[in-house]
């Protein structure tokens, strides 16, 4: 197969071409560290008062703050923070602004800000205090306030509610009306202008599904056609639940993640007065009052993976103190937090900036899940249970994740080789994938359903036991997880064992505990059996359980054990193995850690990758799962001598860059020297990765880390890759820091043409002690010499050198 044919096949194999940006441009200059908190210019009293219970919205390159209270009176001023100038100003206004208020809402639609409701009056004199249901529009282009007028039914006056914009409509949800918390919803069309004199009419929304409880002082965020609500003040019903509202179907649902068996953080503690914003496919939650504390950690919910996590701030961060009733807005890739009430009921005028991550998500787990589901390139048959049900899998991935399966695979390979050597069996065509794998491993004590769930965990680090039964606490689901736990113990997968035990411990209830007790007893799972017994003999459970029909039908030995446990205290110390199985802490390795070990150990390698004079053992299943290039290659033909020559476009990367590429393919590692990033910048396009995550990391690495210490290595790599703009930038940096760079040992090893380039650069910049430009031209998409064919500077260089 020719390289042209293979390239055409690769282009057809690209999994998500919309996610691969071949025009990703490069900019050099000062960049903020990802996940860094930075304190910005404070808003001083002569511009605007310190405040809380206000709103903040983003419009173009500015943040607009309206209303709130300063601890003595309500406010109705509009102040503006310019992102570029990093300065605060009062905003001049025409028309009649809203009355001073707090706990109102503000949203942006097109070129206007809409302010709805809130609490007004004199808080010091405690007079004229009332909730409002008025709607004001502030037009940014003309700096004019206009109050909207309505006909027909209107929402009841309220404060501390939620507001969002979707489909050119304003949506109002819940809040407090002065007597009770609400959970109704209203919407109004924002397309018609207040200047047109048309009558505006509110529409009451009939909500369906699992609606949040009546609540107030909560934030809302819109992402992916849905509105999200997290926690808030709801009396005795306050929870840390996350709810989502589908704008198209008007249906609420609670976002449940507890049924997923995986190692992930829990949701933030219940709270109110916090901020939640949406950025790309993530929700960020900061601050609020959480059970009489004011936390200042930043929580993130990934909408794709359904995982909560706490963002660890960069080491040089200026982290804001805990606060509530502050406001937040997102501008570009940065979250801004302003004001709020801090310790001792003090109002704040501080503004903080947090640099959000814009990296595409890691697709490692999805990629391996896809190759498991497709059954491509499988090289082992698992014969499961007494019926010897065939389940297909990949030797390398199984061996990486389970010591037991690694030993069984090695044993099966030895036996197969012995049978082939003895003439008892013919060797199948190597790497043809046209017939079932010749290697077989027997698992007689497993069930196909439980093994398939274990395989899902092996390949993706997570399983969903509710795929067939949506109720995670149903007896069928609990019994299935017990079987998975038993199998995880046998296959030596400690992390899965711990996840199953934690799931069962949290899902025990009156409807499943007896079935779980019997299953744990027969499976000899002492930990789960002990949990069941303790649940049964509790005072508030015991009577209803022993009076049930299921208890009557239970085997006699277990009935006796329950009665005895009721009258005897539980053992103080469980047997060592049972105690180990009961540990709350989840121990064991992750998918990334196991695949790192697979790459380092080279065990069961079935292909060699060669770059320049070096080669590395690798695994076909891993390569095909992660890159469309290898998937198409292995599906179509087997490389000569089982060796694949590695290049990126028409360039051969360095050995160090090649190792960085392998680490990314195997376990998603993006830590690499800056010079490696230059070689790998186009790798996602050439190899057909699922998205351009590696490319974005390379871009950020290059933008941020070119320095006098590594500039010579960058110069050599840029010359090799024909990345003209990066080479030009490297030459300018060498000129600017020539005294430092010239003393480095590495300059002695530069090729003569590069030394000539440095001399010419010095000749063109006689005053090379002048400041280095912060933002040279961006990198062309092609990163090739053709991209500067018409560049006058390049022409000048060519003429000068010819």
Which residue is associated with the tokens 């919910």?
301
Q: What is the pTM of this model?
A: 0.81
**What is the sign, positive or negative, of the torsion defined by CA atoms of 149, 151, 155, 158?**
positive
Angular region, 549: left φ>0, alpha ψ -120 to 50, beta rest? alpha
Is residue 347 within 8 A of residue 52, CB to CB? The reply is yes
pLDDT (0 to 100) of residue 72: 92
In DSSP terms, 334 is beta-bridged to 331, 355
Q: What percent of the chain has pLDDT over 70?
A: 88
**Residue of 755 and 647 predicted with greater confidence:** 755
Comparing 699 with 774, the larger pLDDT belongs to 699
Rounded Cα distance, 190 and 547, in Å: 61
Residue 640 makes CB contacts below 8 A (sequence gap 6+) with none
The CATH number of 37-355, from 2.40.240.10, 2.30.30.30, 2.120.10.80, 3.30.2310.20, is 2.120.10.80
Quote the pLDDT of residue 770: 53
Distance CA 363, CA 354 (A): 25
Instruction: Give phi and psi for 590, each to the nearest 5.
Output: -90, 175
pLDDT for 192 equals: 75
For 364-582, CATH number?
Answer: 3.30.710.10
* Whole-angstrom distance, CA of residue 172 vs CA of residue 158: 10
Q: What is the mean pLDDT of the segment spanning 207-228?
A: 96
407 pLDDT more than 80: yes
Q: What is the pLDDT of residue 20?
A: 46
Domain spans, the chain: 37-355, 364-582, 706-802
At residue 259's C-alpha, the angle toward residues 254 and 262, to 5°, is: 120
Residue 129: pLDDT over 70: yes
**pLDDT for position 783:** 35
Ramachandran sector of residue 71 (left: φ over 0; alpha: ψ -120 to 50; beta: rest): left
Q: What is the mean pLDDT of residues 511-526?
A: 94
Q: Do the Cβ atoms of 734 and 718 come closer than 8 Å?
A: no
| 137 has a pLDDT exceeding 90 | yes
Q: Given this model, what pLDDT does residue 33 score?
A: 83
DSSP H or E stretch at residue 277: strand 275-279
Q: Please report the pLDDT score of residue 671 as a whole number.
A: 92
The pLDDT of residue 515 is 95
Q: What are the residues facing 331 on neighbouring strands? A: 334
* Count of beta carbons in the 10 Å neighbourhood of residue 522: 13
Query: Among 184-198, 382-396, 777-791, which is the least confidently predicted range?
Result: 777-791
| 591: pLDDT strictly greater than 90 | yes
pLDDT reading at 683 higher than 70: yes
pLDDT at residue 789, rounded to an integer: 36
Query: Taking all residues of the chain, what is their mean pLDDT, rounded to a whole number?
Result: 87
More confident residue, 649 or 668: 668
Give the pLDDT confidence of 351-376 residue by residue, as tens digits: 999 999 888 889 999 999 999 999 99
DSSP string, 364-386: HHHHHHHHHHHTTT--EEEEETT
- In this prediction, residue 606 carries a pLDDT of 92
Tell me: pLDDT of 415 over 80.
yes
Q: What CA–CA distance (Å, rounded) separates 683 from 697? A: 12
Residues 248-277 pLDDT 10s: 999 999 998 766 777 677 889 999 999 999
pLDDT of amino acid 802: 38
Condensed to tens digits (0 to 9), the pLDDT of residues 474-517 reads 999 999 999 999 999 999 999 999 999 989 998 999 999 999 99
**In the predicted model, is pLDDT for residue 23 greater than 90?**
no
* Average of per-residue pLDDT across 143-154: 95
- Cα 138 to chain centroid, rounded: 35
**What is the per-residue pLDDT for 88?**
97
Q: What is 484-515 written as a DSSP string? A: HHHHHHHTT-HHHHHHHHHHHHHH--TTTHHH
DSSP state of 131: E
Q: What is the largest CA-CA distance in the chain?
A: 100
Answer with the residue of higher pLDDT: 629 or 771. Answer: 629
Joined tokens for residue 333: 């890739």
State the pLDDT confidence band at 792, using cuts at 50, 70 and 90.
very low
pLDDT of 704? 79
Pick from 345-359, 365-379, 748-762, 767-781: least confident: 767-781
pLDDT digits (tens, 9 = 90+) for 304-317: 888 899 999 999 99
Nearest to 445 by CA among 403, 392, 385, 524: 385
Out of 2-6, 539-543, 733-737, least confident range: 2-6
Order of all β-strands in the sheet with 242-246: 208-209, 251-254, 242-246, 226-230, 220-223
**The pLDDT value given to residue 4:** 46
Q: What is the reported pLDDT for 468? A: 76
Nearest to 571 by CA among 537, 520, 524: 537
Task: Sort 599 into a burial class: Cβ within 10 Å, 0-12 / 13-18 / 19+.
Answer: buried
State the pLDDT confidence band at 637, using cuts at 50, 70 and 90.
Answer: confident
Mean pLDDT within 690-712: 87
């Amino acid at each position: 197969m020719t390289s042209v044919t293979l390239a055409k096949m690769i282009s057809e194999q690209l999994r998500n071409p919309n996610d691969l940006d071949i025009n990703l441009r490069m900019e050099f200059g000062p960049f903020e560290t990802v996940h860094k908190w930075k304190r910005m210019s404070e808003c001083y009293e002569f511009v605007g008062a310190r405040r809380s219970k206000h709103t903040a919205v983003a419009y173009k390159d500015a943040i607009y703050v309206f209303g709130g209270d300063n601890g003595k009176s309500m406010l109705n001023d509009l102040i503006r923070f310019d992102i570029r100038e990093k300065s605060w100003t009062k905003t001049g206004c025409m028309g009649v602004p809203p009355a001073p208020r707090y706990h109102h809402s503000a949203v942006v639609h097109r070129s206007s800000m809409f302010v709805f409701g809130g609490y007004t009056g004199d808080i010091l004199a405690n007079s004229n205090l009332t909730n409002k249901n008025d709607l004001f529009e502030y037009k940014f282009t003309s700096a004019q306030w206009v109050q909207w007028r309505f006909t027909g039914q209107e929402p009841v006056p309220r404060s501390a509610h939620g507001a969002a914009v979707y489909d050119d409509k304003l949506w109002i949800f819940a809040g407090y009306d002065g007597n009770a918390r609400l959970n109704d919803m209203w919407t109004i069309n924002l397309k018609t202008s207040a200047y047109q004199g048309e009558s505006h009419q509110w529409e009451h929304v009939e909500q369906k599904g699992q609606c949040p409880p009546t609540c107030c002082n909560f934030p809302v965020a819109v992402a992916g056609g849905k509105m999200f609500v997290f926690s808030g003040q709801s009396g005795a019903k306050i929870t840390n639940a996350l709810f989502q509202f589908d704008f198209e179907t008007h249906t609420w649902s609670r976002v449940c993640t507890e049924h997923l068996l995986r190692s992930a953080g829990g949701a933030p503690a219940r709270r109110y007065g916090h901020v939640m914003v949406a950025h790309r496919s993530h929700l960020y939650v900061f601050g609020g009052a959480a059970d009489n504390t004011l936390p200042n950690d930043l929580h993130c919910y990934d909408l794709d993976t359904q995982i909560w996590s706490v963002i660890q701030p960069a080491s040089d961060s200026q982290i804001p103190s805990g606060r509530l009733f502050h406001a937040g807005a997102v501008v570009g890739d940065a979250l801004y937090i302003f004001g709020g009430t801090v310790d001792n009921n003090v109002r704040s005028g501080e503004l903080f900036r947090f640099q959000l991550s814009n990296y595409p998500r890691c697709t490692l787990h999805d990629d391996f899940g896809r190759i498991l589901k497709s059954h491509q390139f499988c090289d082992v048959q698992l014969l499961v249970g007494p019926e010897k049900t065939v389940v297909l899998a990949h030797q390398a991935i199984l061996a990486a994740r389970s010591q037991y399966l690694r030993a069984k695979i090695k044993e099966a390979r030895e036996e197969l080789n012995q049978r082939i050597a003895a003439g008892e069996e013919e060797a199948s065509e190597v790497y043809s994938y046209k017939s079932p794998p010749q290697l077989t491993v027997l698992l007689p004590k497993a069930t196909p359903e439980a093994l398939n769930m274990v395989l899902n965990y092996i390949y993706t680090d997570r399983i969903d036991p509710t795929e067939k039964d949506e109720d995670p606490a149903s007896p069928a689901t609990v019994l299935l997880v017990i079987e998975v736990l038993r199998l995880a113990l046998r296959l030596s997968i400690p992390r899965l064992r711990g996840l199953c035990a934690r799931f069962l411990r949290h899902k025990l209830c009156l409807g499943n505990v007896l079935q779980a007790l019997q299953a744990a007893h027969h499976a000899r799972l002492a930990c789960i059996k002990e949990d069941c017994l303790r649940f049964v003999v509790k005072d508030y459970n015991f009577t209803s359980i022993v009076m049930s029909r299921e208890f009557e039908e239970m085997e006699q030995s277990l009935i006796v054990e329950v009665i005895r446990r009721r009258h005897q205290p539980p053992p103080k110390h469980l047997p060592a193995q049972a105690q180990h199985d009961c540990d709350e802490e989840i121990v064991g390795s992750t998918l990334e850690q196991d695949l790192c070990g697979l790459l380092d150990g080279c065990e069961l390698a079935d292909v060699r990758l060669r770059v320049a004079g070096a080669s590395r053992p690798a695994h076909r299943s891993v390569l095909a799962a992660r890159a469309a290039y290898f998937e198409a290659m292995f599906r179509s033909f087997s490389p000569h001598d089982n060796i694949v020559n590695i290049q990126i476009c028409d360039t051969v990367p360095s050995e160090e860059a090649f190792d960085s590429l392998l680490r990314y393919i195997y376990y998603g590692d993006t830590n690499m020297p800056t010079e490696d990033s230059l070689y790998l910048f186009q790798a996602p396009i050439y190899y057909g990765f699922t998205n351009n995550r590696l490319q974005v990391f390379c871009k950020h690495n290059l933008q941020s880390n070119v320095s006098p210490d590594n500039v010579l290595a960058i110069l050599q790599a840029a010359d090799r890759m024909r990345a003209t703009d990066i080479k030009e930038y490297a030459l300018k940096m060498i000129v600017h820091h020539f005294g430092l760079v010239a003393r480095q040992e590495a300059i002695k090893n530069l090729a003569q043409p590069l030394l000539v380039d440095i001399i010419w650069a010095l000749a063109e910049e006689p005053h090379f002690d002048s400041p280095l430009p912060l933002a040279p031209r961006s990198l062309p998409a092609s990163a090739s010499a053709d991209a500067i064919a018409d560049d006058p500077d390049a022409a000048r260089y060519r003429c000068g050198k010819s």
